[in-house]
Amino acid sequence: MSVDVSPTPQSLLVCDRSSFLDQKNRLNSQVEQLRFNYKVSLLLPECGSAPSHLDSVLNSFSSFCVIRNLPIYELLDRHFLESAVYHGSVYGLSYGTRMDEDNCVALMPNGRLSLSLDKDSYELLGLQGKPSRFNHRTRIRFVVSIDLTDSNMAPGGQGYLRLLTGLKSRLQLQTDFLLSHHPGGIPSLQPLLSRFEWSEHKPKVVHRSLTDLACPVLTSDQWSCDPHSFLEWLGAVDADISSENSSSTFLSSWVCPEPQRPVSQALSVSVCGLLLPQDLHRLTQALRGYLEQPRLESWASMTVHGFVDSVVSWGENEHRVHRGGHNFYTLLMFHNHMYHLHLASEAKDSCPP
């Protein structure tokens, strides 16, 4: 029996090495470019359980809400704009929609509303946009981006009324919607939430203890192993895929990169939900504090995954699910304040910053 095996999706990978103590490091700006995150994974070698201060950060991630059947024109509500969009960072994303097939929406923390629409929906909306950069010979998808903080988009203004009419009377776009806000949280979203069916959620934290794990030997001053091999190994550990590569199973061809050493125990932690960059910054600082304590292993890793079906990937760059749809970064931190940063996206996307 012949098996049709699809080729592995190509990807873009940008690698950076710097120090937290270097005032010119670009870590904060790079991390904030991935705005819509659904999962963060930690790997702590030679750790049996998370220290209390780290556990406290993991369990204090911001809540988010799921609104059912939200008419998108409701995001233009004057009270919602005044209580949330104009005062902080709102993170909103259509939920359960697929980038290659459905109309998708994102409300970004800078107040920009981005719509990824099929051709018929775009023509119904009646606003100027631009063809998707992922169109081929025919224009079948369009992107409309509006800055809700622009003076022309103030409630009652000409631009505001055109957008409101397009979304309310012509297109009537409606979808389940993920929503979070910093720093106001759920209370600042009440002017919108009070009119719809919604539920509040806390990101889900899962701990997993590992034993007798083969780990690559990593040093802060150089790339100890090929970054692609390291990320493949890290992904296999997170997914609980064996890297022993036993000839009796052939279920996996992943192996731990060389040079390697066995560690008696390790801790794998994942947090899933709509994760805000502000919480990920706090987690980074907690991990730095963890590494300052004397221990057998001198590094820890943090991998943050962006939503596959997000309208944007890095910054405001258009995102597309060609095969994998992945957009993520891995931060490898060392006890001497050095770090290695790996930023990745699908090959069809824009290059990470």
Question: Which amino acid is located at 38 in the chain?
Answer: Y
Distance CA 265, CA 280 (A): 25
Residue 42 phi, psi (nearest 5) = -115, 145
Buried b (16+ CB within 10 A) or exposed e, 59-84: eebbebbbbeebbbbbbbbeebbebb
HEC readout, 22-57 = CCCCCHHHHHHCECCEEEEEEEEECCCCCCHHHHHH
Residue 352: the pLDDT is 75
Residue 335: the pLDDT is 92
The pTM for the full model equals: 0.91
The pair of three-digit structure tokens given for residue 210, joined into one six-digit string: 């590992």
CA distances in angstroms from 341 to 18, 26, 37, 163, 255, listed in the order given: 8, 10, 17, 40, 22
Residue 299 phi, psi (nearest 5) = -145, 165
Among the residues of 71-157, which ranges form H helices? 78-80, 119-125
Where are the chain's structural domains?
A: 11-61+203-346, 64-201
Residue 312: the pLDDT is 87
Residue 325: the pLDDT is 58
Instruction: Tell me the pLDDT of the chain (353 aa) as tens digits.
Output: 444 445 555 678 888 999 999 999 999 998 899 999 999 999 999 998 889 999 999 999 999 999 999 999 999 999 999 999 998 899 999 999 988 889 999 999 999 999 999 999 999 999 999 998 776 677 788 999 999 999 989 999 999 999 999 999 999 999 999 999 999 899 999 989 999 999 999 999 999 999 999 898 888 877 667 888 889 899 989 988 876 655 455 555 667 888 888 899 999 999 999 999 999 999 999 999 999 988 767 899 999 999 988 888 888 878 665 555 578 999 999 999 999 999 988 666 666 76
Q: How far apart are the first and last CA of the chain?
A: 45
Distance CA 38, CA 308 (A): 9
Residue 158: the pLDDT is 93
Residue 305: the pLDDT is 95
